[in-house]
Structure 1
Amino acid sequence: MIPLKIGDVVRLRKPHPCGSFDWKVMRTGMDFRIQCLGCQHQAWIPRVKLERNLKEIVEQGPEN
């Protein structure tokens, strides 16, 4: 299990149709809500699929 927090910016392996690879984590749990940093589109994605498609964590969110 990869430790992801709200506010983290992650880079995925495949681009969004707008061309951006980077997404911001908006909500965590069994499913993640992520927001494209290119076009601001939000999507729900299961934890397993996100962890499989994750390339790197670009930026850590604020520490709580």
Structure 2
Amino acid sequence: MATSLNYQLHDIVEMKKPHACGANSWEITRVGADMKLSCTNCGRGIMMSRFDFNKRIKKILQVANQKEE
């Protein structure tokens, strides 16, 4: 399983608190100094610093497929 520093685009993660729509799974859509997440239920996007992301993440639910050849 990936460690807390190995996040990839399109990983599905679970955060400590659910979104207002009730879903608790997010897709990573940008990785860098800031992290951009999209709710898998309603599609709402949020951005947060990597520091805040590391504090708020609970676990990685699904790792993105590696199809680069």
Shared topology, TM-score over 0.5? yes
Aligned partner of 1:47 in structure 2 is: 50
Q: Which has the larger radius of gyration?
A: 2
Quote the RMSD (CA, aligned, Å): 1.0
Partner SS state of residue 51, structure 2? helix
TM-score normalized by the length of structure 2: 0.87
Between the aligned partners of 2:35 and 2:53, the Cα distance in structure 1 is 8
1:3 aligned partner, one-letter code: N
1:18 aligned partner, one-letter code: C
Gaps of 5+ in 1: none
1:17 has 2:26 as partner? no
Alpha-carbon distance, 1:62 to partner: 1.9
Gaps of 5+ in 2: none
Between the aligned partners of 1:51 and 1:3, the Cα distance in structure 2 is 11
1:29 has 2:38 as partner? no
Q: How many residues align?
A: 64
Give the % identical residues.
25
TM-score normalized by the length of structure 1: 0.93
